[in-house]
Each structure stands twice: as structure tokens, then as C-alpha cells.
Amino acid sequence: MRTSEYVSFDGVGLAQLMADGEVTPAEVETAAREAAQAVDPRINAIVETWPADDAPVPGSTPLAGVPFLIKDIAVAMAGRRTELGSRLARGNVAGADSSLMRRFRRAGLVTFGRTATPEMAYSITTEPLLYGATRNPWDLRLSAGGSSGGAGAAVAAGVVPIAHATDAAGSLRIPAACNGLFGLKPTRGRVSMGPGADEVFNGLAVHGSVSRTVRDSAALLDQIRGPEPGDPYFAQQPSRPYAQEVTRPPGPLRIGVLAQAWGGRRTTPPVADALSRTVRLLESLGHRVEEAEVGLGADWEEFVLANARLMTANLTAQVDEVAAALGRPVDASTLEPPTLAAYHYGQRVSGAQFVTALTMRNRVARSLARYFGAYDVLLTPTLPELPVPLGTYAEDAQALDGLGWIDRLNDRSPFTMAFNVAGTPAMSVPVTADAGTGLPVGMQFAAGHGLEGRLFRLAGQLEQASPWSGRTPAVWAGGPAGP
């Protein structure tokens, strides 16, 4: 299988070829490795590759034999390094598979490497000191987003059709938007975080994926959803597989539009124009679309402060655990300035302040739930601006404390985190592109708790009405850069 042929299929399509005997899993894996060799020196999305240790049975699952990459955080593969994008965890090797890794294996995925993440996944751009910046395949001067930026860049450039991602504040949806991909953040409790983790960032973080087609994301979520014994959260299982939802009509939906974000950052003209075009497309498909005023349940300053306390206190505990396990100091030799500042900020968060922050989480969840009673779906831009140049987030970062860093991230991505706090599903869809630059623009759609099926139906309709599979970036394994 030539690389140019490999990149023309999504994961479900590749799996079907293998099930039909038209190509072997070994040939598909070879094509994926050739794709990685062709593009990764330019985008720096992959931290490490290794020999695959699973032998999938073609046809045994909808994704059996599909090449796959895991993120360098939040998932453990026995005998493989997981370094959290940090010098603090350099060389750390997992002793056993996490629950999610076991599910990836059962899905028949051929996991042959790990993708880059910012240190401790604590940024929305992927520029760690440990392995260097990941570059956007659409324009190498730009950020690929974060914290699943390595996954986003690798999928966009054609290395794999789908890759593991996580999302605690937009970390899955932001790279999807920056790289022209589909990415759905599931409901809290949909995918287990166990067994080593309880409720990452107090339930703000979830597992998911970024992909080039909606059906790939649906097929993977079908394979990994469901609780493990002892999980602190539970999401009711869907009545039918998500893979079936993609081809079902969503019916006419009432969609509320939030064009300007909480917090005051204005949506830039290119993104506002893309939003307007998306609204017109939705109306042409029979949906009722109207402007909505969505109350957050907290003022912006309180929202940022509470999330800073939750996230930095969690970070501090994680850093202390890693440092103790590996016998390393917690200082500038092991942590980057924003992470170290957040660590020290978290040390000062009191128990009472932490509980107050959880109360804010409850208010936001209940406030947004009321709007999902009035609207079937909420629509916002995923980001208020186009992908930013590398280095943008690092400007004057050494002068920021932990609160200042969280404020900066929320300011640059003001639409995403509310749905992490509320625990509801949200997806970024590459409905359109910027007319001036050709850069992808992601649109975020959110639904009520447990309603991923509704989002998949809508995403499938949008993919048919405004296909994005033909849009490929400048760095593309199937193009001139490929074999």
C-alpha cells in the first residue's frame, strides 16, 4: 500500500479493506510509518515510535488494524514511556496498561507511538521544552493548538486517521480547530479515567480523539465508552451505537448562537465571518438558528479564579507525586516557568477555597443545563481567532503567577472550558475555512448531558453538506512531501 493510497482512507475505510483481504495490517502499518517519516521532521508531532506489539484480527472490530497514536499523558501503555511532556518525568516507564489502553487494544488499534503534549498538558499550545514545538501542518509558523497538539498535527498531516486526545479545558477541540479536524469531547463519565486516576481535574478532564471523519470518532467512542468498577462518574449508555448515529438525520434543531464569548475577548472578523456562513448553512438544512444570551452562572473573574484553584491544586498534587516517584526536585531544572508558577500557586490554595471552587462548578453546570432545556444545541466558534504564531503564549510568561497563566489560557480560548466545567459533550467541526488564508476554522457545538448521539447526527449532516475531507494542509503525507 502506497502512502498516497493510505491517506485517502479514514480509519473505518482502512479497517474494511483489511477485513475484505485487500490489504494486510502489516502493509497498512508500514504505510503509516512511511507517512510519519515523510512529515514528522517538519511538524514535530510524534515524540516516539516503537514496534507494535498487537496482532489485530481483520474484521474483528470496526477499527481493527488501524494505525494509532496515544498522547504522552493520561494513558499508560505497559513498558512504554509516558513523560507528560516534562523534564520532571523524563524516562518514566509505565508498569501496566491503564483501562483506556486495554480498550484501545481490544478495539484492534495498532498503537505504534506517542504524540507531543505541552508540559503536564498545561497549555493550549504544544511547545514543551522537553521535545520542542509542534508545528501546524497548514502553516509551519503557527501553533497546532494544545494540549493534544501532537495528535492534531499528526492526524491533519496524514500520519494516522485518528489519534487519542484528552480535554480538560478545550485540549481536544482546540487542536481540532487549529488543524481542520473533527473532535468531540464526551460527557463526563463516558470514558473511564481509571484505574490510577480518579477524577482528573475534579471531572473537568475527559478522554477522546481527533479524526479526519466523523464516523471514525464515533466508531472509536463506541469501542472505549463505558464505566470501570469504582468510577466516580457514570453516563447512561446510548440506546444505539454512535456509529449508527452519524448517518441518521438529526431532524430540525433549535440552535442558540453565542457569537461573543464570556470574558470580553472579541471574536475576530475572519472567525465571525465563518460563523455567519455556518449559520446560513444550518438554516439551509432546516434548523432554527437564533442568537442566544447564555448565562455562565458565575461572573468571568470568579469563573477563572475558581478554575485556577481547581487546576493548580490538582497540578501540585500530580507534580509532587511524580517528583517523589522519580526522586527529582521541583524547580526550574524540571519544570517550565508557567508550570512552576502554577505549582506554587496550587500550594497556597486552601481547603475552603477548593470547596468554594467546586461550588462554582456546580453553579455553571446547572446554569448551562437550563439553556439546554431551551435549545437542542448551542453553537459558538471553537476559538475567537485563527491559529496564532508559535511563541505567542510564551510572551512575558515568566511574569505570570498561576492565576495569571490560567487567565491567559481562558482569555485565548474563552468558549471551550465552560463545557468541561459543566461536564457536557461538545465538538469542534471544521465546517469552513478562512477565505483570506485558507486556514481551517472550527465551529463548536454543545449539547446537554449524555447527548453525544445528537451531536454525531448533526456532525454527520454537516460533513455531507459541507465536506472537508478534500481540504489538506501544506504538509501532507499524500502530497509532494510524501513518498
CA distances from 317 to 73, 148, 186, 322, 391 (A): 16, 22, 25, 9, 28
Distance CA 173, CA 206 (A): 12
Distance CA 182, CA 364 (A): 26
What values do phi and psi take at 157, rounded to 5?
-85, -5
CB 21 within 8 A of CB 58: yes
According to DSSP, the residues that pair with 68 across neighbouring strands are 111
Q: Based on the number of CB atoms within 10 Å of its own CB, is 392 exposed (0-12), middle (13-18) or buried (19 or more)? A: middle
* Beta-sheet pairing, 288-291 with 162-167: unpaired
Catalytic residue among 86, 143, 171, 217: 171
- Looking up cell 485558507, which residue turns up? 438
* Beta-sheet pairing, 182-185 with 426-433: antiparallel
SS3 443: strand
71 as an active site residue: the answer is yes
Q: What 8-state DSSP symbol labels residue 157?
A: T
Determine the distance from the C-alpha atom of residue 96 to the mean position of all C-alpha atoms in its chain, rounded to a whole number: 24
Catalytic residue among 98, 123, 147, 217: 147
147 as an active site residue: the answer is yes
Catalytic residue among 71, 86, 143, 148: 71
Q: What 8-state DSSP symbol labels residue 265?
A: P
Distance CA 123, CA 117 (A): 9
Distance CA 46, CA 154 (A): 7
185 as an active site residue: the answer is no
SS3 182: strand
Q: Give the catalytic positions in this structure.
A: 71, 147, 171
